[in-house]
């Protein structure tokens, strides 16, 4: 009869054997396709490289503001969540107080989810990168766009208001 160590050894050895056979028999086309794409991109002229580098730099700079805003909001929320979780583990709180803390945690989670949904909606409908922050009945939207169009802002506000049952105060600002 085989003991547990022997069984584990046989299982891991057979798994390693199967993976090595798969790797050896893997089609070479996969490797050649990846290499040809790499070699093809190496043959670009210096002019094309400069254009691509410029586009990449613009993309990075455009999203830096929105990324920093997201990081800042996430940091604030994580601090609040940590404080609420500490309160939740406090033995001196009553059941009602713990329920309030739990509701606050749930509210933060719902708001974060709704913000992500609204950002995705703006991305899908208007093809724009955005940052959305919800604070009670105030919705702040920062859109990454060179075009500062009032009609676009109004359309974004109308589109976002559809997601809420109650009247929300939605502000849209454009940043480059």
Strand partners, 174: 143
In-domain check, residue 31: no
DSSP state of 167: -
Q: Which two tokens stand for residue 72?
A: 């800042």
In-domain check, residue 116: yes
Give the whole-number percent of the chain exceeding pLDDT 70: 76
Is the Cβ–Cβ distance between 171 and 109 less than 8 Å? no
Residue with tokens 């929105």: 66
In-domain check, residue 149: yes
18 pLDDT tier (thresholds 50, 70, 90): confident
In-domain check, residue 25: no
Distance CA 3, CA 11 (A): 12
For the segment 46-104, what is each residue's pLDDT rounded down to a tens digit? 455 555 555 555 444 446 888 888 899 999 999 999 998 888 888 888 889 989 988 99
pLDDT, position 170: 94
Domain that holds residue 68: 48-175
In-domain check, residue 141: yes
Using DSSP's 3-state secondary structure scheme, residue 171 falls into strand
Where is pLDDT greater, at 46 or 153? 153
* pLDDT above 50 for 168: yes
* pLDDT above 60 for 30: no
Where is pLDDT greater, at 144 or 63? 144
Q: How far is CA 125 from CA 39, 170, 174, in A?
A: 37, 17, 16
133 pLDDT tier (thresholds 50, 70, 90): very high
In-domain check, residue 24: no
In-domain check, residue 54: yes
In-domain check, residue 164: yes
pLDDT, position 16: 79
pLDDT, position 135: 92
Mean pLDDT over 120-134 rounds to: 93
Q: Which helix (H) or strand (E) holds 168?
A: none
Of 143, 136, 141, 131, which is closest to residue 164 (Cα–Cα)?
Answer: 136
pLDDT, position 61: 47
| Number of domains making up the chain | 1
Please return the burial class of 122, using the count of CB atoms within 10 Å of its CB with bins 0-12, 13-18 and 19+.
Answer: buried
Mean pLDDT over 146-169 rounds to: 91
* pLDDT above 80 for 169: yes
CATH of the domain at 86: 1.10.287.4300
């Amino acid at each position: 009869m085989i003991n547990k160590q022997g069984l584990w050894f046989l299982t891991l050895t057979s798994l390693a054997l199967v993976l090595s056979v798969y790797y050896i028999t893997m089609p070479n086309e996969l490797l050649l396709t990846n290499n040809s794409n790499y070699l093809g991109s190496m043959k670009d002229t210096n002019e094309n490289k400069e254009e691509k580098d410029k586009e990449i730099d613009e993309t990075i700079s455009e999203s830096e503001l929105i990324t920093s805003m997201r990081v800042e909001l996430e940091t604030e929320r994580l601090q609040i969540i940590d404080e609420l979780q500490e309160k939740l583990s406090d033995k001196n709180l009553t059941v009602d107080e713990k329920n309030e803390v739990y509701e606050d945690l749930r509210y933060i989670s719902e708001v974060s989810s709704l913000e992500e949904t609204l950002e995705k909606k703006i991305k899908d409908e208007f093809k724009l990168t955005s940052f959305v922050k919800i604070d009670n009945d105030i919705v702040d939207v920062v859109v990454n766009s060179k075009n500062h169009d009032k009609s676009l802002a109004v359309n974004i506000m109308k589109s976002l208001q559809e997601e809420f049952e109650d009247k929300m105060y939605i502000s849209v600002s454009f940043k480059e």
